[in-house]
Amino acid sequence: MPDPTESAKTNGNGVIKVAAIGDLHVQEDAQTSYRDLFGEISREADVLVLTGDLTNLGKPREAELLAEDLRACSIPVVAVLGNHDYESGCVEQIAATLRQAGVHLLDGQAVELKDVGFVGVKGFVGGFGRRMLGSFGEPAIKAMVAESVNEAMRLENAMRQVRAKRTLVVLHYAPVPETVAGEPPEIFPFLGSSRLAETIDRFKVSAVVHGHAHRGSYEGRTPGGASVYNVAMHIAKPTGRPYALLEI
Ligand SMILES: [Fe+2]
Ligand SMILES: [Fe+2]
Q: What is the pTM of this model?
A: 0.95
CA 214 to ligand 1 center in whole angstroms: 6
Q: Where are the beta strands (DSSP E) in the chain?
A: 17-21, 47-51, 77-80, 104-105, 109-113, 116-120, 166-170, 207-210, 219-221, 227-230, 244-247
Domain-wise residue ranges, the chain: 17-247
CA 193 to ligand 2 center in whole angstroms: 13
Is CATH 3.60.21.10 what the domain over 17-247 is classified as, yes or no? yes
Could you read off the pLDDT tens digit of each residue along the chain, which spans 248 residues? 445 444 456 666 789 999 999 999 999 987 889 999 999 999 999 999 999 999 999 999 999 999 999 999 999 999 999 999 999 999 999 999 999 999 999 999 999 999 999 999 999 999 999 999 999 999 999 999 999 999 999 999 999 999 999 999 999 999 999 999 999 999 999 999 999 999 999 999 999 999 999 999 999 999 999 999 999 999 999 999 999 999 99
CA 123 to ligand 1 center in whole angstroms: 13
Q: What's the start-to-end Cα distance of the chain, in Å?
A: 24
Ligand nearest to the CA of 83: 2
Ligand nearest to the CA of 84: 2
- The H or E element that residue 67 is part of is helix 60-69
CA 66 to ligand 2 center in whole angstroms: 17
CA 232 to ligand 2 center in whole angstroms: 9
